[in-house]
């Protein structure tokens, strides 16, 4: 049994697929829980991490304002910026969770765990129409805003990934398999992942 990481485009159903896989295989599923775990370890307030989760900001003043709760420092003892703090805290949580078979959605987990042998790195994607449908029907977003939301979310995920991994989000080289949830269907996609993990 493997540790399964799932990267996903916004609206592709990657989260739902991840939960299905975890349930079918009887292993834990991690997503937002990682943030909480990360918060506990870093000493940062959960709200600060949630606000900054997957957002890459370089605002000096903002960093300065909550600089007092910094936990990680660089080699010369200077505290690292907030995003790096959050990333490192998430990384610790991911490493801990991955001590046992589990499903981890998002959070650059594929990159963090890339040297492990028992890892299945999945990326779930779908065409734009299917994703817009899903954002409106499943997430209850305003149809008029769905397209903008989709573009913003993808951009944010890509920037976050590229910031910390020095690689390109969704680029096939970073994964073992990429699955099109729109043409395969969510249930079938989850089944394929389960069979690959066993």
Task: State the burial class of residue 196 (Cβ atoms within 10 Å of its Cβ: 0-12, 13-18, 19+).
Answer: middle
Number of amino acids touching a copy of itself (CB under 8 A): 17
What is the rounded distance in angstroms from the CA atom of residue 181 to the CA atom of residue 126? 5
Cβ closest to a copy of itself, residue 25 vs residue 89: 25
What is the rounded distance in angstroms from the CA atom of residue 29 to the CA atom of residue 15? 10
57-116: which residues touch a copy of itself (CB under 8 A)? none
What is the rounded distance in angstroms from the CA atom of residue 121 to the CA atom of residue 38? 22
Exactly one of 56, 88, 136, 196 binds a copy of itself (CB under 8 A); that residue is: 196
Tokens 């395969």, residue located: 184
Q: How far is the CB of 188 from a copy of itself (least distance, A)?
A: 8
Exactly one of 92, 127, 133, 154 binds a copy of itself (CB under 8 A); that residue is: 127
What is the rounded distance in angstroms from the CA atom of residue 19 to the CA atom of residue 8? 13
Cβ closest to a copy of itself, residue 84 vs residue 180: 180
Pairing of strands 29-30, 3-8: unpaired
Cβ closest to a copy of itself, residue 87 vs residue 169: 169
Structure tokens at 12: 């592709």
169-188: which residues touch a copy of itself (CB under 8 A)? 170, 172-173, 175-180, 183-184
Residue 130 engages a copy of itself in binding (rule: CB under 8 A)? no
Q: Counting every residue, how long is the chain? A: 198
Contact track, a copy of itself, 153-172, x by CB under 8 A: -----------------x-x
Cβ closest to a copy of itself, residue 30 vs residue 175: 175
Residues that bind a copy of itself (CB under 8 A): 123, 125, 127, 170, 172-173, 175-180, 183-184, 192, 195-196
């Amino acid at each position: 049994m493997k540790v399964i990481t799932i990267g996903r485009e916004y609206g592709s159903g990657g989260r739902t697929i991840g939960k299905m896989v975890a349930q079918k295989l009887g292993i834990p599923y991690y997503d937002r829980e990682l943030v909480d775990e990360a918060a506990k370890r870093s000493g940062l307030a959960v709200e600060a991490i949630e606000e900054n989760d997957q957002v890459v900001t370089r605002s000096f003043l903002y960093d300065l304002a909550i600089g007092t709760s910094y936990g990680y420092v660089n080699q010369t003892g200077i505290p690292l910026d907030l995003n790096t703090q959050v990333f490192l805290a998430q990384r610790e949580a991911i490493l801990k969770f991955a001590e046992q078979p589990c499903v981890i959605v998002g959070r650059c987990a594929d990159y963090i765990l890339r040297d492990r042998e028992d890892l299945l790195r999945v990326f779930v994607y779908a065409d734009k129409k299917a994703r817009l449908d899903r954002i409106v029907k499943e997430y209850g977003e305003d149809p008029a805003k769905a397209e903008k939301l989709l573009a913003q979310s993808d951009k944010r995920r890509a920037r976050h990934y590229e910031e910390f991994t020095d690689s390109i989000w969704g680029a096939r080289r970073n994964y073992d398999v990429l699955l099109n949830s729109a043409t395969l269907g969510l249930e079938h996609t989850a089944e394929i992942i389960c069979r690959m993990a066993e």
